[in-house]
Amino acid sequence: MEEIQSQSDNYRSSSSSASSPASRVPSSNFFYLRKPGSLRQPISFEDSPEWDDTDIDVRVEEGVDSINVATTPASPSLSKLNSGSLPSPRLPEGAVIPRKIAGASVAWKDLTITIKGKRKYSDKVIKSSTGYALPGTMTVIMGPAKSGKSTLLRAIAGRLNSSSRMYGEVFVNGAKSQLPYGSYGYVERETTLIGSLTVREFLYYAALLQLPGFFCQKKSVVEDAIHAMSLGDHANKLIGGHCYMKGLPSGERRLVSIARELVMRPRILFIDEPLYHLDSVSALLMMVTLKRLASTGYTLILTIYQSSTEVFGLFDRICLLSNGNTLFFGETLACLQHFSNAGFPCPIMQSPSDHFLRAINTDFDRIIAMCKNWQDDNGDFSSVNMDTAVAIRTLEATYKSSADAAAVETMILKLTEKEGPVLKSKGKASNATRIAVLTWRSLLVVSREWKYYWLHLILYMLLTLCIGTVFSGLGHSLSSVVTRVAAIFVFVSFCSLLIIARVPALMKEIKIYSCEESNQHSSTLVFLLAQLLSSIPFLFLISISSSLVFYFLVGLEDQFSLLMYFVLNFFMTLLLNEGIMLVVATLWQDVFWSVLTLLCIHVVMMLSAGYFRIRNALPGPVWMYPMSYISFHTYSIQGLLENEYLGTSFAVGQVRTISGFQALQSAYNISQDSNSKWKNLLVLFLMAIGYRIFVFILLCFFIGRKISLRKCFKCNRDTTDHTS
Residue-level pLDDT at 122: 57
Q: How high is the pLDDT of residue 66?
A: 37
- Greater confidence, 559 or 368? 559
pTM: 0.79
pLDDT tens digits, residue range 137-176?
999 999 888 888 999 999 999 888 877 888 999 999 988 8
Instruction: Tell me the per-residue pLDDT of 278-291, one tens digit each, with 9 for 90 and over.
Output: 888 889 999 999 99
Question: Which of the four pLDDT bands, split at 50, 70 and 90, describes residue 9?
Answer: low
Is residue 542 pLDDT above 50, yes or no? yes
Mean pLDDT confidence for 509-533: 91
Tens digits of per-residue pLDDT, 401-454? 999 999 999 999 999 888 888 888 888 888 999 999 999 999 999 888 888 788
Q: Which of 92-96, 243-247, 301-305 has the highest mean pLDDT?
A: 301-305
Taking residues 165-188, report their average pLDDT. 89
Mean pLDDT over 637-662 rounds to 85
- Residues in a beta bridge with 113: 126, 166
CB–CB of 193/241 below 8 Å?
Answer: yes
Lowest-confidence range among 153-157, 233-237, 671-675? 671-675
Residue 714: pLDDT over 60: no
pLDDT single digits (tens) 486-506: 999 999 999 999 999 999 999
Average pLDDT over residues 597-601: 96
- Mapped onto helix, strand or coil, the DSSP state of residue 510 is helix
3-state secondary structure of 584: helix
d(C-alpha 63, C-alpha 329), whole Å: 19
Select the CATH number that applies to the domain covering 99-183+268-273+306-374+386-423 from these four: 3.30.960, 3.30.980, 3.40.50, 1.20.140.
3.40.50
Cα separation of 393 and 382, whole Å?
22
- Which amino acid is residue 171, in one-letter code? F
Percent of the residues in the chain that have a pLDDT greater than 70, as a whole number: 78
Question: What DSSP designation does 243 have?
Answer: T
Is pLDDT of 32 > 70?
no
Scanning 615-704, the segments in alpha helix (DSSP H) are 628-630, 632-645, 660-664, 676-699
Domain boundaries, the chain: 99-183+268-273+306-374+386-423, 431-706
Q: What is the DSSP letter of 90?
A: P
Cα dihedral 673, 675, 677, 682, rounded to 10, equals -130
